[in-house]
Chain A
Amino acid sequence: MSDHQSKENLSAWIDGELDHARASALPNQILQSAEMRQSWSEWHLVGDLMRSAGAARQSTLTKRIVEQIKSEPVHLPSRNPRPSPDVGGGSVVSGRTRLIYGSAIAAAIAFVAFVALAPQMQDSGLVEIIAGAMPESATLAQRPASAVLLEDPRLRELLEAHGSMSIRPVSAEVR
């Protein structure tokens, strides 16, 4: 697997969009590849920065991203108009027929839109619910406690008693 593909998979995994077959291989790839670990850390740093305006101001990462975006080529859509269908010289369409024809098309479009867009509408609502769940002040970015955990065995003891989302208590237990 190419580096590019691996990073694509990593990105998709972080976004929760990678299928099981490829996701199951990623932990080992991350552990074995320094570059993958670097990408993992950087992409999470980006996430942290997006949640921390103060940290973002102190970092050069934002500037680098802006410069990179500026250097990207701009792709514009083609302006060539599509040829119009030939409507002259055909059969004469009556007003009643046109009305029914238009209604049928509108109903068909409504149906397709309902079927195709309903899931997206549901997802959008979900995101809105999440975003509105708590105020801005509740997400004060704090320094990750990892360093503290490694330094203080007594804190690890308390963490072990408290538990976490997985049954495994604390990664630094043996250190």
Chain B
Amino acid sequence: MIRRLVRLLLISFGLIAAGLTSLNAVAQQPDGSPEALLSRIQSAARALSFSGTFVHQQDSTLHTSRITQIIDAKQSVTKVQALEGHHQEIIKTPNETRIYLPERQVVKIDQTSYTRAAFPAVFVGAPEQVLKNYEVVQGGSMRVADIDAVEVFFKPRHESRWPVRAWIDKKTSLVVKCQKLDAQGAVLEQVAFTQFSLTTKTNGANLGGGANSTGAPTTGGLTSSFMGVKDWKVRDASMVALAPAPSLKYKPETLKGFEIVGVYQRAAKTDQAPFSIRRYVLSDGIATVSVFVQSRSVAGPLTERVRRNGALTMLSREIQEAWVTVMGDVPPETLRQFAQTIEWKSTP
């Protein structure tokens, strides 16, 4: 009896020691560093071919979309189709994004050379910039869309941004679910796969090219799904990158960790203004803040109070002869303080 109890005691301590040793080993894996993790996440979003359905929730608003991404030696294209409400289809290639609105027979073409974060490629900033502004905390495992995923929490190092929680596919490192949270941990906005499958071959039926005989616009040989629609109106939604980037006067302490990563502009239709719209893009590696400057010749202001929709907040200010509209994935108080410090002169 006594020997059996002693054996049980030794086994218990042995198991505890083994458990602690294995946990320590996981934490010290050479490729388990936050930098390596972020690199794997970004590579997966750029290199994987997949199809799936995802749900995007902003507050009480819910949208379901189908996504297909094909990456091979010849092309890299992402196709997103709205599954609810009005038909809408987006085809994104490295050089441009086309938004098809078949009910209006309109296609908007955006050739602005800016890498926009969009699910599942939600982390597009340089890893070192992300880690400068967020602490990466690995959590437990959870199944998302039948995928074994691991939770990764991005804890802000400053108060001026939302915490972000993501679930990463253990096999591919692709983001399969992402949430932006408020200070209490409540979900403000989230996007997640509800169905997902990796693909290895280009699906010619959905994305295959060839001449478009119906008049529908094409993108690099790839056709839209709306083959029966004719006489599309093409609208240019592009902005031109400005180099060197003109500066923007504001107090950096109101937006800690954010840096201007690009300035873009659309030319004015008349000679009365130097441009019709200019956009300053600031990023902390995950969150993005846009400062739009428009001539006061357009009606405004758009929204004088701070508004929030999901994780996105926005407001407009009248500064001299311009409307300055600020929108970003940051808390309302951060956006308000930042916007108040912006200085603008009509002839910078």
Contacts and interface: CB of A to CB of B under 8 A. Distances in A.
A146 B61 CA distance: 9
A82 interface: no
Contacts of B60: 40-41, 44-45, 144
Contact of B239 (A126, A129, A161): A161
- Give chain B's interface residue range (CB within 8 Å of chain A): 35 or more
A126 B56 contact: no
A165 B191 contact: yes
Contact of B333 (A48, A122, A138, A173): A138
Determine which residue in A19, A131, A135 has the highest number of CB atoms from chain B within 10 A of its CB, and name it: A131
Interface string A99-143: 011011001101100110001001100110111011111111111
B186 A51 contact: yes
Interface string B141-185: 001111000010101100100110100000000000010111111
B131 interface: no
A126 B152 CA distance: 10
B271 interface: no
Interface in B120-156: 122, 137, 139-140, 143-146, 151, 153, 155-156
Interface in B189-209: 189-191, 194-195
Given A48-B59, A134-B159, A145 B303 contact: yes
B292 A168 contact: no
Determine which residue in B15, B145, B309 has the highest number of CB atoms from chain A within 10 A of its CB, and name it: B309
Given A51-B186, A129-B155, A161-B239, 15 more contacts: A130-B181, A139-B183, A142-B308, A143-B305, A146-B309, A155-B302, A155-B314, A159-B327, A163-B116, A164-B58, A165-B117, A165-B191, A166-B54, A168-B80, A175-B86
